[in-house]
C-alpha cells in the first residue's frame, strides 16, 4: 500500500476528549473516528487490525471444534421475555419498536437467539455436543461510554455457545474454550490473567472465568496470589481466615462498653484522628435493604463491604444501601452514627470484624470496648468484605494477595440449564427421556482487545503493534520522495517484500523526514526500513519499533531479516 493513497489521517496532538492512552493513540494514528458517544468508525488501518484479530479468533475457534454462524442484531422482545431478561436487563438494553409497534432489542448478547435456534433443531443426544460462534456487532447503552473502544455502546464481539448432554460434557467444552482463549490472547500479544469471577447478570449455576488484560486504566480490580496461581476478580476474591474467628470466650473479664462523646464525627478517618484509634479497631455499620428487608452489616473500619458476597450470603436478588430516612427510622441515628448496640434488625458480621476484641462502634455517638457477639448479637457470620492487599491467599497456605487493575477482554461461563429450562431447549437421551440441554457461553470483546493491546504496547511516540495484529508488517520510508535514487531503491524493496508475501506500507508522500518518522513511530508497524543517503550503494537501515538501534543492511539482506522476523 502506498501511504499517499491510504486513508489514515494522523493527528499531531491528542484530542482533548480522550483520557486513555489507547483512545488518544487510536485517534492520533488514524485508526478510528467517533461518530457519537461510544460509537466509532474504523478507518482502513484500524479495520485491518480488527480483521487480523478476527482471523486469529476464527482460526482458534475452528481448531477447538466450533462452527461459525451469524445471528441477527435485532431480536424480538418476546424472546427476552421468555428468558426473563427483558425487564431485568435494565436501561443498558437498547429497545426499539417496528412500524407495527412490535418490540425489539438490539442484542448485547445472544443467549436467547441461539437457544431459540437450537431448541427448534435439537431432538437427540446424538446431535451433541455442539458449539456455535459468531463475530458480530453488539449494543449496550452505557451510562458513561468512555475510554474509546474500551467502554463503547456499539462494539465487536465474538460470542460462542456450547450445548452438551451432561455436565461432564460442559466441563470438556469449557476447558477447550479456556485453552483456546489462552492461545488467542497470547497470539494477540496481551499480558493477561484468567481470574475467577462472579456470575453477574448472565446468571448460571456453574463457574466462570474472566480473562483480564493487565493495565492501570482497567476498571476491574484483580486479586492475585504472590505464591500460587490463584487470581480472582475483587467481587469474588476470598481471603484466608487467619485467627479471624469470633471471640466468645473470656467474656466475663471484658469491660462494659463506654460511651464516647463524638457529636460531629461520622467518617472513619475522622474517628481515627479524633480518638487516636486505628481503623482496624473500629466497627463500621451499614444498613442494607435485601429484597426490601433491612439488615445491618458490620465490617472493620479499614474494610469495604462486598455487596456481591453479601447478596450471595442472603440469597437476595435486590440489594441496596438504606437511605438516610430508612437509616434514621431503623436506628434512631443519622448515617455515620448507626451502630450495632441495641439494634433490632438482624446483624451480619464479616469474619475480620467479628474477631476484633475491643472495638469502637457507632450508636448515636460512639462506644468503646465493644465486643462483637457479646455486646451485640451476630445473626450470621461470613466473608462480607473486599479482599485487600496483604490478605492471606484463600487457595494456599503461604501466599498473600496483591491487587492489580485489569481490562476484561473475555469471559467463559458455565450456564448450565438457566436458558434451556426457561426456554424449553430439550433433547431426548439414550433412554428416550426428555432433558434440558446443558449450556456454556464464551465471549471476547474484539474491539476491546484492540484497545487493551494499545494500552499495553505503546511508548511516548506511539503504538508498538505485536507482530500478528499489526496493520502492516513492514514500513518502507524513503527519506526524500524527490530523490530519484532513494525512490528507485524504495520501490525495489517494496516489490521484493510484497512478493515475499509481506504486507508493506510505502511512505511515498512528499513530506519532511521529521513528519514521516513521527508518523511511522505513531502508527507503530513492527519493522521500519529507512531508505536514505546510502540508497545509491544499495544500503538501507532497518529498525524494529521495539528497539532503539538501527541495522545497516543491503536490500536483499533487509528482505531476509524481515522474513525471518515474521517466521520466528
Q: Which residues bind Zn ion (CB under 5 A)?
A: 225, 227-228, 230, 393, 395-396, 399
Reading the block at residue 168, the C-alpha cell is: 461432564
Q: What is the dihedral of CA 456, 207, 57, 560, to 10 degrees?
A: 50
With respect to Zn ion, which residue has the nearer C-beta, 319 or 396? 396
Helix, coil or strand: residue 328: helix
Q: How far is the CB of 388 from Zn ion (least distance, A)?
A: 15
4 vs 226: CA distance, rounded Å: 51
With beta carbons less than 8 A apart as the criterion, state whether 75 and 117 touch.
no
Query: In whole angstroms, how far apart are CA 46 and each of 38, 51, 386, 475, 527?
Result: 16, 9, 39, 16, 18
d(CA 134, CA 115): 14
Closer by beta carbon to Zn ion, 251 or else 389:
389
CB 462 within 8 A of CB 521: yes
Q: How far apart are CA 99 and CA 533, in angstroms?
A: 67
User: Which cell numbers hold the place of 487?
Assistant: 525512490
Cβ count near 527 (within 10 Å): 24
Give alpha helix (H) positions in 377-444.
Answer: 418-422
Least distance in angstroms from the C-beta of 395 to Zn ion: 4
**DSSP letter for each residue of 465-494:** --GGG-SSSEEEEES-TT-HHHHHHHHHHH
Nearer to Zn ion, 107 or 194 (CB): 194
**Terminal C-alpha separation, the chain:** 24
Nearer to Zn ion, 240 or 475 (CB): 240
Instruction: Tell me how far, at minimum, the Cβ of 182 lies from Zn ion, in Å.
Output: 20
CB of 239 to Zn ion, least distance (A): 11
Closest CA to 326 of 348, 294, 299: 294
**Residues in the chain, overall count:** 568
What is the smallest separation between the CB atom of 214 and Zn ion, expressed in angstroms?
18
Q: Which residues pair with 366 in a beta bridge?
A: 260, 362
Q: What angle do CA 442, 118, 181 make, to 5 degrees?
A: 15
Report the candidate in 465, 450, 443 with the shortest Cα–Cα distance to residue 211. 443
- Cβ of residue 402: shortest distance to Zn ion, in angstroms? 11
Distance of CA 457 to the CA centre of its chain: 17
Closest approach, Cβ 232 to Zn ion, in A, equals: 11
Q: How far is the CB of 396 from Zn ion (least distance, A)?
A: 3
- Residue with smaller CB distance to Zn ion, 96 or 228: 228
Burial zone of 315 (CB within 10 Å; 0-12 exposed, 13-18 middle, 19+ buried): exposed
| Closer to Zn ion by Cβ: residue 216 or 398 | 398
**CB of residue 400 vs Zn ion: minimum separation in angstroms?**
8
Q: 39 vs 228, which CB is nearer to Zn ion?
A: 228
Cell of 334: 443519622
Smallest gap from residue 207 Cβ to Zn ion (A): 18
Burial of 364 (0-12, 13-18, 19+ CB in 10 A): middle
Residue 180 sits at the vertex; the CA angle it makes with 177 and 184, to the nearest 5 degrees, is 135
Q: Which is nearer to Zn ion, 124 or 229 (CB)?
A: 229
Instruction: Look up residue 333 and give its DSSP letter.
Output: S
* Residue 495, φ and ψ in degrees, nearest 5: -65, -40
Cα(101)–Cα(113) distance, rounded to whole angstroms? Answer: 20
Residues 6 or more apart whose Cβ sits within 8 Å of residue 451: 20, 22, 23, 26, 147, 148, 149, 150, 407
Nearer to Zn ion by C-beta: 397 or 430? 397
Between residues 397 and 549, which has the closer beta carbon with respect to Zn ion?
A: 397
3 state SS of 448: helix
Comparison of 226 and 537: residue with beta carbon closer to Zn ion: 226
Give the residue with the Cβ less far from Zn ion, 212 or 438.
212
d(CA 199, CA 213): 19
Shortest Cβ 223–Zn ion spacing (Å): 10
Nearer of residues 388 and 396 to Zn ion, judged by Cβ: 396
Instruction: Kindly state the cell numbers that stand for 247.
Output: 471471640
From the CB of 393, what's the least distance to Zn ion, in Å? 3
Residue (403 or 428) nearer to Zn ion, CB? 403
Amino acid at each position: 500500500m502506498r501511504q499517499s493513497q491510504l486513508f489514515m489521517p494522523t493527528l499531531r496532538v491528542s484530542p482533548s476528549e480522550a483520557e486513555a492512552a489507547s483512545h488518544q493513540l487510536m485517534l492520533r494514528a488514524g485508526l478510528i473516528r467517533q461518530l457519537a458517544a461510544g460509537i466509532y468508525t474504523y478507518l482502513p488501518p484500524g479495520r485491518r487490525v480488527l480483521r487480523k484479530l478476527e482471523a486469529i479468533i476464527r482460526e482458534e475457534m475452528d481448531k477447538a471444534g466450533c462452527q461459525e454462524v451469524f445471528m441477527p442484531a435485532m431480536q424480538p422482545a418476546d424472546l427476552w421475555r421468555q428468558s426473563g431478561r427483558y425487564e431485568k436487563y435494565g436501561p443498558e438494553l437498547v429497545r426499539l419498536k417496528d412500524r407495527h409497534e412490535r418490540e425489539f432489542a438490539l442484542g448485547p448478547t445472544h443467549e436467547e437467539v441461539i437457544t431459540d435456534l437450537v431448541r427448534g433443531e435439537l431432538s437427540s443426544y446424538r446431535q451433541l455436543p455442539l458449539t456455535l460462534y459468531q463475530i458480530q456487532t453488539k449494543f449496550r447503552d452505557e451510562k458513561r461510554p468512555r475510554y474509546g473502544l474500551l467502554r463503547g455502546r456499539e462494539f465487536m464481539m465474538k460470542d460462542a455457545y456450547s450445548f452438551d448432554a451432561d455436565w461432564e460434557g460442559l466441563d470438556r467444552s469449557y476447558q477447550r474454550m479456556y485453552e483456546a482463549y489462552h492461545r488467542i490472547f497470547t497470539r494477540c500479544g496481551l499480558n493477561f490473567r484468567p481470574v475467577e469471577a462472579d456470575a453477574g447478570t448472565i446468571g448460571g449455576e456453574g463457574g466462570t472465568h474472566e480473562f483480564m488484560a493487565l493495565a492501570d486504566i482497567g476498571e476491574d480490580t484483580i486479586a492475585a496470589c504472590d505464591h500460587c496461581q490463584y487470581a480472582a476478580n475483587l467481587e469474588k476474591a476470598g481471603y484466608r481466615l487467619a485467627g479471624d474467628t469470633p471471640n466468645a470466650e473470656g467474656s466475663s473479664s471484658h469491660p462494659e462498653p463506654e460511651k464516647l462523646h463524638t457529636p460531629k464525627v461520622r467518617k472513619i478517618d475522622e474517628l481515627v484522628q479524633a480518638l487516636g484509634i486505628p481503623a482496624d479497631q473500629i466497627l463500621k455499620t451499614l444498613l442494607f435493604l435485601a429484597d426490601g428487608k433491612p439488615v445491618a452489616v458490620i465490617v472493620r473500619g479499614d474494610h469495604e463491604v462486598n455487596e456481591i458476597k453479601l447478596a450471595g450470603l442472603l440469597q437476595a436478588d435486590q440489594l441496596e444501601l438504606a437511605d438516610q430516612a430508612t437509616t434514621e427510622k431503623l436506628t434512631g441515628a443519622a448515617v455515620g452514627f448507626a451502630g450495632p448496640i441495641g439494634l433490632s434488625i438482624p446483624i451480619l458480621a464479616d469474619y475480620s470484624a467479628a474477631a476484633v476484641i475491643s472495638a469502637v462502634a457507632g450508636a448515636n455517638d460512639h462506644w468503646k470496648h465493644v465486643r462483637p457477639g457479646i455486646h451485640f448479637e451476630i445473626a450470621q457470620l461470613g466473608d462480607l468484605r473486599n479482599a485487600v492487599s496483604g490478605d492471606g491467599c484463600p487457595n494456599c497456605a503461604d501466599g498473600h494477595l496483591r491487587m492489580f487493575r485489569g481490562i476484561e477482554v473475555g469471559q467463559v461461563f458455565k450456564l448450565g440449564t438457566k436458558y434451556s429450562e426457561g426456554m424449553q431447549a430439550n433433547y431426548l437421551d439414550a433412554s428416550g427421556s426428555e432433558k434440558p440441554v446443558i449450556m456454556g457461553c464464551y465471549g471476547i470483546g474484539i474491539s476491546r482487545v484492540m484497545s487493551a493491546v494499545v494500552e499495553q504496547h505503546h511508548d511516548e511516540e506511539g503504538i508498538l503493534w505485536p507482530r500478528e495484529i499489526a496493520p502492516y508488517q513492514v514500513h518502507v520510508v524513503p527519506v526524500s520522495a524527490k530523490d530519484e535514487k532513494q525512490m528507485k531503491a524504495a520501490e525495489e524493496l517494496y516489490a521484493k517484500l510484497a512478493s515475499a508475501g509481506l504486507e508493506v506500507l510505502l511512505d511515498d508522500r512528499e513530506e519532511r523526514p521529521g513528519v514521516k518518522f513521527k508518523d511511522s513511530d505513531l502508527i507503530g508497524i513492527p519493522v521500519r526500513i529507512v531508505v536514505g543517503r546510502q540508497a545509491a550503494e544499495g544500503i538501507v537501515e532497518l529498525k524494529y519499533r521495539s528497539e532503539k538501534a538501527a541495522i545497516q543492511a543491503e536490500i536483499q539482506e533487509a528482505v531476509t531479516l524481515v522474513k525471518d522476523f515474521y517466521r520466528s
